[in-house]
Structure 1
Amino acid sequence: SITYKASNPLQTIALGKNDETALRFTGGLTATYQAVTTATQNLKIVGAGGIDFFNQRNEVIAPPELFFQANQTNPGVSTLGNADSRFTNWNVNAIHTFTPASGSFRTTTSAGVQWEDRQLNRARTTAEGLLPGQQNVNQGSVLNAFEELTHERTVGLYGQEEWLGLRERLLLSAGVRTERSSANGDVNKFYFFPKASGSYRFPDLLGAGSDFKLRVAYGETGNQPLFGQKFTTLQGGQVIGGHVGTVVGNVAGAPDIRPERTREIEAGADATLARGRATFEVTLFDRRTSDLLVPATPAPSTGYGLQFLNGGKIKNQGIEIAVGATPLQSEHFNWLFRTTFTSIRNRVLELNLPGGGQGFRPANAGYGLGFGEFFVQVGRPITQIIGVDDKGNVISLGQANPKFRWAFSNQLTYHRASLAFLWDWQYGGVAQNQTLSLYDCNGLAPDFSTPRGQAGFDACNNTGDARPFVQSTSFLKLRNASLSLDLPETWASWFGARSARVSVEGVNLITITDYIGYDPEVSNYGSQAITRNIDLGPYPPSRSFFFTIQAGF
């Protein structure tokens, strides 16, 4: 009910209200029982439980005297929203370790049960046509209410075996997890997810004090369907003859829906050089996901407009590299350098859609081909964005996934002072800049008189070209910088402490990018697997500064 269109920002600030209150509590408890302890065997029972509780309350009020409310059918809006989320879990594990008297190998056997419960309650009441000077939701002429209750439960069992031998050089591991969930179509069916791995160390292969390890692993994981995708929902609020009733919704349930299954194989090498002053890690992986949950359009004769089905395969291939080094090290000065590099490529391999379709438009894909929108298509990246050019041809405009991410961190310590900073570089990737399109389409962009501004206005109002509104998200950011000082022990003792430290830290300090907007890492719909990188009037990213005093007693 608060908008920047056709409004006076100063009036909106003075008369409008948009308050949000959030409360979160997380807690856990762990208990360990040492059941058996001998010279060769050890058995312990470990139990743990936890809770994550979150409450959010929103109160949004737009009184009728606001400019953008004056032209509404029922001027004056008051919205009261409340959301409660409660996640609880517990697990019990048995861990057995066996080492023969010779010490030639060691086995570790573990098994356990895991239980998770997820509950969400969202409610929102909106009143339109507020009486002058009133804010309560019962002071409007038109009321709209919404409530959503979800409850999911998952039970899992697992078993794992590890063997370490050959003078602690060879490590072999195998395990399996099986789980069932109320989100699946068959709530009583257990799905199995195996895993196996192996590694071998070569001590001193690269010089005295070095260690080199080769490793390979295979594993399977599951991604559960969302709550309610197996049900055909009923829509309430229908009043017929003075009686409240329900009608069948537009989305058909999938009673046999099952989890997505991801199979991944990876291989890599780790090295430690110069007695720990340098480290190197590299990993290559191939990840294939089958039974992909995709939205499908049923036959019109069914009466439904949408149904979620298991009907697709995608692959992700990539490389991850991490390097660490201590270039300078002396009695009073130390320089620690680390860098990480990640590059991932993905492709849609198969879509088993009704009617043999080769692509679909996911939910929240965008606002039309004239502005760019996501389109999942066989043979293309899953985060592909398509649109039309100035001749009306549908073309690919890129994908949300970047070509690579490269981060550099440094920590320099001199006597008691320490300076640390982290740079993050992203190359490639695109975003739908819908905020820019709103300014360009209405001739309100700050650079309207420039060639770029004129091109955006012309694209929106004449040619329908989407290219000006799908922009590169490449950037270089100084994400974090901090300076700290360990105070002398005598100073700390003045207030009864053993040690004390003062520090100043800045977060999100510098962003270098060609992206026209607040932040190239924008995502209007939060963390999404596909439809991320949409910019539509987001909150500006915060630049934070912290001054901290730490004391140890």
Structure 2
Amino acid sequence: MRLSLLIASLSLLSSSALAQKLIGQVVDSASSQPIPGATVQVKRTQAGTLTNAAGTFTLTNLQPGDTLVFASLGYQAQKIQYTDQPGLAVKLVAGLALNEVVVTALGLERNAQSLGYAVQKVEGRLVSEVKAPNFLDNLAGKVAGVMVTAGSTGVGASSRITIRGESSFTNNNPLFVVDGIVINNATVVNRVNDDANGFQEIDFGNGAMEINPDDVASVSVLKGPSAAALYGTRASNGVILITTKDGSSAGKGIGVSFNSTFYAERPFQLPRFQNSYGQGNSGAFKYGNGLGGGINDNISYSYGPRLDAGLLIPQYDSPVTLPDGRVVRGADTGLYSGLPITPTPFVAHPDNLKDFYRTGRTAINNLAVAGDYAKGSYRLSFTDLNSQSIIPGVDLQRKTLAARLQFDPIRRLKFSSSLNYINSGSANRPATKYGSENTNYALSAWLGRQTDINPMKQYWQPGLEGIQQFSYNYTFFDNPYFTLYENRNSFTRDRLIGNLALTAELANSLTLLVRSSMDYSNENRQFRRAFSSNRFKNGAYAENGVFFREINTDFLLNYARSLGPVSLDVSAGGNRMDQLASFDQYQALTLAQPGVFKLTNAASPVEVYQQSGRKRINSLYALAKLGYKDLVFVDITGRNDWSSALATPTSTANTSFFYPSVSASWVLSNQFRLPTVVSFAKVRASAANVGNDTGPYQTAGVFTARNPVFSQPAFSEQSTIANTNLKPESSTSLEAGADVRFLNDRLGFDLTYYDARTRNQILSLPIAVSTGYSERVINGGEVRSRGIEAVVNATPVLTNRFRWNVSLNFSRNRTTVVSLPEEAGTLTLGYNRIYDNVNQTVWYQVRQGDRMGDMWGTGYLRNAQGEFIVGSNGQYIADNALKKLGNYNPDFMVGLSNQFSYRNWNAGFLLDWRQGGILVSRTLALAGVAGQLIETADRPDAGIVAPGVVNTGTADNPNYQPNTRAIPAETYYRMYYDRNHEENNTYDASYVKLREFTIGYSVPETAWLAKKLRAQRLTVALIGRNLLAVSHIPHFDPEQTSFQQNQLQTGVEDMSYPTTRNVGVKLSANF
């Protein structure tokens, strides 16, 4: 009610002037012929229309001072201010929209035709139309060369993003800049001491996910070093520049906008299980106490009795009648063990996993107020995101308050500010990876097919509430409802992102910008583990404190002047970056009293881990832009950084490094008389060198605080040997491209080829433990990244009523290892394993000549024809030598967007195609071993003959004959899916996904509803995300990430939660 009153009152203010009507015509300036299908938009309200066949249009609800924007394919856009005139004749000049502006490095706005490097722009409406809670997901499939992989823990999960593949052994994260503010995109998980018995890793999201799409005006992706060179050491992996909305387009008075998005969410795809056999081994099962007191009741394999065969068997939820006549459940063993359990029907529960997940919902509401006045403009925005996950007990809350202000107090002086305050939190975040704290450990891998999960909703044993959970198996598993409602991982985070800037015109053509910006965040986390938890029998409690603060202060002096046919634009400036980060962890691994989650309730000494780091970079930079007659443009830049991370206690010799770049473009269509079918043609080329330094304390040893010893403070030296002669990584890039458009811009091609080499990689090599250390920091190794990108934009159909726009982007990247440091034969960049078992490990390794992204593991012996070799026991022979499983990077990526408009209707969809790459599935491996998957339903009494061959000859002279020996079905499936051998659990990760869909209707301004609400624009749309996918991977969405050692990894699926199919509605209104 309050919101309605606020909107109504603001709309009255915004309508202080009487609504006006304008009738006009748009014609060609040369021929005076009408231009049908031209767009006419009111900048303040974003309301608009198309000209008809006669080129005429009608606009209503105008206010004096409104800016009208006229545009049409093949013509330069034109802005005209409405001054209460009843009619208007508009003449558009034919030619390319040469005034198209993109935001480039340091926030400088550039004419698109002058750029000598690849920059791709995404309009704000394309990231907010079908928005996701994680901002990065809104970029997937929309930019050539940009790969976004959504997280695997539901709403609030971290997403991984790379630009043009991976060129570094250690850091491939692009830089994010919002309104000139460098923001943190790190993912910081809790520190894990014991993978098998302690707290599991929790994903609390990454920094860029909190960018609010409703506030975004545009996104510019600086893909290569040439585009990003002015950001120096932080630019080697590209830059994502985000410009937020301001009030400059609001017009006089107050403009109010409101939009609301609501999604209903269901699991996108769930594993398909067999429902013929229940829990047990060798056909036998009987529940006793879930600890081995019955027959196979402490195991989790589904090789037990047949289901739905009329059998009556004691089960965990079977009734137990007490002497006083009360009835409890079979697993209520805390107070009532030893009593007979009444057998109940042994039947399948095929929907036990489906029934566990609820219908999720996400509501995103945004209200914005904007105004433009003589001395400046303003925009205020409030956004509320409330999401209830499909996972019971899991949620995400986020409130964002944004403000942009521009004030021109006197002539030649401008003041501007951007401020975002974000408060986010969750009552519970789900655990990642394999282990009992992840509900999929039981539900997707080990849950017996006869298990009804509904009784588990009452997850305390009667009379032992708060002390003993109720579960179907007490040996390995927690009740999933108990896990999600009692073992919570909550957090609250406050974040402030803002800047203050002053621009002074010192003289004609000479301006000075002085700016200071900050990204500040403070996060508190709590981890609660109730009594009787599988890993913490006496409960546990932990706290994390995560702090980050980065301040950037910079200045930029700019001089721009035209000297006849030559345009000159010279800038020089500097930056000082000061970054401080800390992480504190306190753990009470046993509690004195149940239900009291405080560190003071610890029954044993609290374990303490504290880490902090500080880093500074001082920089000076300069750039010169030369243009000649709008034909040729040349950019030259240079930046010098001084990084504290490369200093030692006694030397600063390696702290300084210089990064130059040069780029050029030649507009052929302005130079030569090309065929009339060609409306624009440009070629471009660039060369650049950028770098990548390291985190603090890699050049000198440090001591870390540990648990006190005999009540005295204790410290330990880091396990890594520092390198006092460490140098920054160096990336050299060459790029060439062309932009060609035809048929008055109805068809356009933008092509890019790049070749980059990254040398002097910073990494840690393992060393003998006898040294007292585990690794040492070195420089070394070279990686080469090459690729092509293509963007095609087309308008196949354009009439005065119907318009169809198509945008296609294609990219292919190949990153190979040219050399390894110190002649190392193999370099391990990371691993993904179950618990700390080296035999269950996927290795991310590189070798000279191989590709980045190669994955290694073990499998079974094969002959030269690729057939499995079977031993005398009828089983495959293990091959424990590491073999290349494949590469997780796709061979190529394609994004295809289609937008349709007909009168007041509009529709669109986005397809995302990734071809190639592999994915190793832990879930399918374990569910296969357990006999849960539908593929394990075939269990003939005669056994299964493993496909393969038997060697009847010798090792030197093999003679392979088809295998004929049958083995029990249980033996076969446990062998085939064996988690110690990843080869059989490796899948083709290719997919085509319908990532976004929308169909909407704009209510005419003259309609009764629009008049009643005094709305100048009112739209309603049906929207959807992640609706369909075609892939080679059974049972789940092929888009997956996983965690290991605080690294967000791709290529491995590890007990992931299902992604969601989201269907919803969006309402928006402008007043």
TM-score relative to the length of structure 2: 0.48
Partner of 1:434: 922
Partner of 1:233: 702
Distance 2:882 2:562 in 1: 65
Deviates more, 1:323-332 or 1:521-530: 521-530
Check the 8 A contact 1:59/1:80 in 2, yes or no: yes
TM superposition shift of 1:366: 4.3
Partner of 1:508: 1026
Deviates more, 1:84-93 or 1:374-383: 84-93
For the residue of structure 2 that corresponds to 1:521, the secondary structure is: coil
For the residue of structure 1 that corresponds to 2:830, the secondary structure is: coil
> 5 Å matches for 1:337-352?
337-352=806-821
What does the per-residue CA deviation read over 1:83-128, in whole Å, with 9 as the maximum and x for residues that have no partner? 222232232111111212xx31111111111222222222222212
2:738 maps to a residue whose letter is A
Distance 1:236 1:244 in 2: 8
For the residue of structure 2 that corresponds to 1:382, the secondary structure is: coil
- Does residue 381 of structure 1 match 2:851? yes
Distance 1:215 1:202 in 2: 10
- Does residue 401 of structure 1 match 2:889? yes
TM superposition shift of 1:459: 4.1
Instruction: Tell me: CA distance 1:115–1:99, structure 2 relative to 1, closer, same or farther (3 Å).
Output: same
Partner of 1:163: 626
Partner of 1:133: 595
TM superposition shift of 1:526: 9.0
- Does residue 33 of structure 1 match 2:504? yes
> 5 Å matches for 1:304-453?
304-353=773-822, 356-366=823-833, 368=838, 371-391=841-861, 392=879, 393-445=881-933, 447-449=935-937
Distance 1:495 1:526 in 2: 53
Deviates more, 1:443-452 or 1:495-504: 443-452
For the residue of structure 2 that corresponds to 1:401, the secondary structure is: coil
- Does residue 215 of structure 1 match 2:684? yes
Partner of 2:541: 78
Instruction: Tell me: CA distance 1:436–1:88, structure 2 relative to 1, closer, same or farther (3 Å).
Output: farther
Gap runs ≥5 in structure 1? none
For the residue of structure 2 that corresponds to 1:389, the secondary structure is: strand
For the residue of structure 1 that corresponds to 2:850, the secondary structure is: coil
- Does residue 193 of structure 1 match 2:659? yes
For the residue of structure 2 that corresponds to 1:465, the secondary structure is: coil
> 5 Å matches for 1:447-526?
447-449=935-937, 457-459=974-976, 461=978, 464-490=980-1006, 491-516=1009-1034, 518-525=1036-1043
Deviates more, 1:103-112 or 1:509-518: 509-518
Residue 117 of structure 1, aligned match among 565, 575, 578? 578
1:423 maps to a residue whose letter is L
TM superposition shift of 1:36: 1.8
> 5 Å matches for 1:5-154?
5=441, 6-37=477-508, 42-66=509-533, 68-69=534-535, 72=536, 75-100=538-563, 103-130=564-591, 131-142=593-604, 143-154=606-617
Instruction: Tell me: CA distance 1:242–1:8, structure 2 relative to 1, closer, same or farther (3 Å).
Output: closer
What does the per-residue CA deviation read over 1:242-267, in whole Å, with 9 as the maximum and x for residues that have no partner? 64333333211122222211111011
2:496 maps to a residue whose letter is F
Check the 8 A contact 1:55/1:82 in 2, yes or no: yes
TM superposition shift of 1:206: 4.2
For the residue of structure 2 that corresponds to 1:349, the secondary structure is: strand
TM superposition shift of 1:443: 4.3
For the residue of structure 1 that corresponds to 2:645, the secondary structure is: coil
Distance 1:539 1:183 in 2: 38
Check the 8 A contact 2:830/2:845 in 1, yes or no: no
Partner of 1:536: 1054
TM superposition shift of 1:521: 2.7
TM superposition shift of 1:457: 2.7
For the residue of structure 1 that corresponds to 2:852, the secondary structure is: coil
TM superposition shift of 1:208: 5.1
For the residue of structure 2 that corresponds to 1:457, the secondary structure is: helix
- Does residue 552 of structure 1 match 2:1070? yes
Higher RCO structure, 1 or 2 (CA under 8 Å, sep 6+): 2
Distance 1:300 1:125 in 2: 28
Distance 2:664 2:1046 in 1: 33
* Bigger fraction of residues in strand: 1
CA RMSD of aligned residues (A): 2.7
TM superposition shift of 1:529: 9.4
TM superposition shift of 1:456: 6.1
For the residue of structure 1 that corresponds to 2:936, the secondary structure is: coil
Instruction: Tell me: CA distance 1:445–1:10, structure 2 relative to 1, closer, same or farther (3 Å).
Output: farther
Distance 1:378 1:530 in 2: 24
1:425 maps to a residue whose letter is W
Distance 2:700 2:806 in 1: 53
TM superposition shift of 1:476: 0.9
Q: Percent identity?
A: 22
> 5 Å matches for 1:178-189?
178-185=640-647, 187=652, 189=655
Distance 2:922 2:538 in 1: 27
Instruction: Tell me: CA distance 1:206–1:508, structure 2 relative to 1, closer, same or farther (3 Å).
Output: farther
Check the 8 A contact 2:610/2:705 in 1, yes or no: no
Deviates more, 1:397-406 or 1:482-491: 482-491
Check the 8 A contact 1:481/1:506 in 2, yes or no: yes
Partner of 1:254: 723
Distance 1:277 1:233 in 2: 61
2:787 maps to a residue whose letter is G
Distance 2:778 2:889 in 1: 25
Distance 1:460 1:497 in 2: 61
What does the per-residue CA deviation read over 1:448-468, in whole Å, with 9 as the maximum and x for residues that have no partner? 335999766314549x43212
Distance 1:231 1:523 in 2: 34
Check the 8 A contact 2:832/2:1044 in 1, yes or no: no
For the residue of structure 2 that corresponds to 1:494, the secondary structure is: helix
Check the 8 A contact 1:22/1:57 in 2, yes or no: yes
1:177 maps to a residue whose letter is R
Gap runs ≥5 in structure 2? 1-198, 200-436, 442-476, 862-878, 939-943, 947-968
For the residue of structure 1 that corresponds to 2:727, the secondary structure is: coil
1:502 maps to a residue whose letter is V
For the residue of structure 2 that corresponds to 1:363, the secondary structure is: strand
2:632 maps to a residue whose letter is L
Check the 8 A contact 2:831/2:1044 in 1, yes or no: no
Equivalent pairs, count:
539
Deviates more, 1:15-24 or 1:402-411: 15-24
